[in-house]
Structure 1
Amino acid sequence: MGTEKPVISCKNVWKIFGAEPEKYLAKLPQGRSFDEIRADGYIAGVRDVSIEVVRGEMLVIMGLSGSGKSTLVRCFSRLHDITGGTIEVDGQDIMSLSEKDLIDLRRNKMGMVFQSFGLLPHRTVLDNVAFPLEMRGQDKHERRARALEVIKLVGLEGREEYFPRELSGGQQQRVGIARSLAIEPDIWFLDEPFSALDPLIRREMQDEFLRLQAMLGKTIVFITHDFDEALRLADRIAIMKDGAVEQCDTPDNIVLNPATEYVRKFTEEIDKARVVHARILADAARSGEGTPVDAGASIHDLARLLVNDTRDSIPVVEGERSLGALDRRAALDILVGAA
């Protein structure tokens, strides 16, 4: 992900629920499993997690219910105090912050969107979106102008005076997104924001979200239990099980090279040809002749060319830059299955 200093740096983080968890962690034998910890009378919500998020990245954290994904993100914003390890935001250890500094950090740098929309029913769309600016003590005219700006951004222009009960589920979620964007956060946490929506509206919200991210370039941590959603949105995916991260990698690499049996089971039903892109198969040491293919094209996009082409090696380019060439047979194996 480049050499830039991470926006969020999480090192050897534990979150244990139970009596005197710090004392328990201090004497915890290395390698003790989730079930063994539970047998001791504790719940390991997060187990020895180390992960970094760089500026402008969308990290999707996924796993089944109870895997620890929401607990981990609540640790990132110190909604949970961690039991062990360190979490830094922009180089600052958040566990060392005073209550006042922590509130300032959340108000000025972090936006949060949750599965439950959490809208104030007696306030209009405009007033709901302006609410965090009101809490910040911002001037009435300034907060109205900013609220109108983000309402337009999320496609709700003309509904400023509607109340939440007058909106569809998708529109209510847009209000929640607009409200979190109003403070212009550097870091955006979204905890299963679309899971309560029906499939068609969910897809539309994903499209809208991708459009917003392309415009705004936020640093995003997005929680989901839906692998298709993760593949569609993520720069990288972290798959969690029993409080631990099983694998954190790009969607292409997770699908092609699952690190554990658990991750393999997650990926076995996925159409790899729709996930894997030409860039991941490009070998810089390999050369090819003829018309190149674009690095961003999926193997599914290239299906007709791969079937009809006779070249062993096909050049891959990203803009004007050559990335080498891909092995057509390896690409066909992804498309139709290995011989």
Structure 2
Amino acid sequence: MPAPGLRLRGDFDHAGVPLFRDLDLTVAAGGWTCLLGPSGVGKSTVLRLLAGLETGGSFTGEIGADDGGPIAGRIAFMAQTDLLAPWLDVRGNVTLGARLRGETPDAARAEELIARVGLADHVHKWPASLSGGMRQRVALARVLMEDRPIVLLDEPFGALDARTRAEMQELAFETLTGRTVLLVTHDPAEAVRLGHHLFILSENGLSECAGLENEPVRAVDAPETIEMQVRLFRSLRGGVA
């Protein structure tokens, strides 16, 4: 399935209180769009709206794909919490989507992804016996297993140590080549490393950060990468990019 671009435009209220107004977010087809901003401004709500999930609030506006097709059925979503089924082992959780749809999971692909997230020796373990970082890697393997053209990621690497985080970023970027990815992150370095497009959502609305150079995955020590991280951090602090 080709990867379409996405657009979300409108207002959202929670318990009668506005969360955002006149939001107009375009997620470019076939690349990584990163969404940053302080807690509580609606970043995760944006993901849930695109995914068609319950938000606990009221949205007025438009959500759609630029090819005119439905978004439902073409999305893989990874939430902040790993949401692993406690009664399934690592393999069972990675293949859960296919099983819920009544499909036969691709066993070879599942084993490959489990190995690539570094859990080949833990394939039969239950979630309760895994560390937080291991659980997050299971959740990442599960979303990659879905092989969807649209992928929504909510802080997918937040529980990982620095080395593992870099490795999982590279794995996700490689595996999701050509997909339309929207990544919510609080980490400017992560956004600059992975993003084709960067947006900041704040209490004042949505703004795009221009000036990205080279193609991701960018070298963390490249001067232009460091410069963009500094600019992005200043923007997040309310300064001028």
Alignment partner, residue 115 of structure 2? 152
State which structure, 1 or 2, has the greater radius of gyration over its C-alpha atoms.
1
The C-alpha deviation readout for 1:236-274, integer Å capped at 9, x for no partner, is 111011272033435469949x79xx8274567x9xxxx
Alignment partner, residue 231 of structure 1? 192
Alpha-carbon distance in 1 for matches of 2:173, 2:109: 18
Alignment partner, residue 168 of structure 1? 131
Matched, 1:247 2:208: yes
Alpha-carbon distance in 1 for matches of 2:206, 2:119: 37
Alpha-carbon distance in 2 for matches of 1:43, 1:196: 31
Matched, 1:9 2:27: no
Alignment partner, residue 219 of structure 1? 180
**1:182 aligned counterpart, secondary structure:** helix
Alignment partner, residue 111 of structure 1? 76
Question: What is the CA-CA distance between 1:174 and the residue it aligns to?
Answer: 1.1
Matched letter for residue 9 of structure 1 = R
Alignment partner, residue 216 of structure 2? none
Matched letter for residue 112 of structure 1 = F
Question: What is the CA-CA distance between 1:168 and the residue it aligns to?
Answer: 2.8
Alignment partner, residue 218 of structure 2? none
Question: What is the CA-CA distance between 1:158 and the residue it aligns to?
Answer: 3.1
Question: What is the CA-CA distance between 1:61 and the residue it aligns to?
Answer: 0.5
Alignment partner, residue 37 of structure 2? 63
TM-score by length of 2: 0.78
Question: What is the CA-CA distance between 1:68 and the residue it aligns to?
Answer: 1.5
Comparing 154-163 and 179-188, the one that deviates more: 154-163
Alpha-carbon distance in 1 for matches of 2:209, 2:200: 6
Alpha-carbon distance in 1 for matches of 2:32, 2:3: 16
CA contact (8 A) 1:14 1:47 kept: yes
Alpha-carbon distance in 2 for matches of 1:250, 1:185: 29
Matched letter for residue 137 of structure 1 = G
**1:239 aligned counterpart, secondary structure:** strand
Question: What is the CA-CA distance between 1:149 and the residue it aligns to?
Answer: 3.4
The C-alpha deviation readout for 1:118-161, integer Å capped at 9, x for no partner, is 1122211011111111101013xx44344223223433223221
Q: Where do residues 72-91 of structure 1 align in structure 2 (5 Å cutoff)? A: 72-79=46-53, 80=55, 83-91=59-67
CA contact (8 A) 1:45 1:243 kept: no
CA contact (8 A) 1:67 1:240 kept: yes
Alignment partner, residue 263 of structure 1? 235
TM-score by length of 1: 0.57
The C-alpha deviation readout for 1:63-101, integer Å capped at 9, x for no partner, is 11112211112121222486332111253376xxxxxxx
Alignment partner, residue 208 of structure 1? 168
Matched letter for residue 202 of structure 2 = K
CA gap of 1:209–1:46, structure 2 versus 1, over 3 A, is: same
* Structure 1 residues without counterparts, runs of 5 or longer: 19-41, 95-101, 271-339
Matched, 1:129 2:94: yes
Larger RCO (CA within 8 A; separation ≥ 6): 2
Structure 1 counterpart of 2:24, from 50, 69, 72? 50
CA contact (8 A) 2:38 2:236 kept: no
CA contact (8 A) 2:84 2:139 kept: yes
Alpha-carbon distance in 1 for matches of 2:239, 2:166: 21
Aligned residues: 224
Structure 1 counterpart of 2:147, from 184, 187, 190? 184
CA gap of 1:163–1:264, structure 2 versus 1, over 3 A, is: closer
Alignment partner, residue 296 of structure 1? none
Which has the larger helix fraction?
Answer: 1
Matched letter for residue 51 of structure 1 = L
Alpha-carbon distance in 2 for matches of 1:118, 1:202: 23
CA contact (8 A) 2:34 2:183 kept: yes
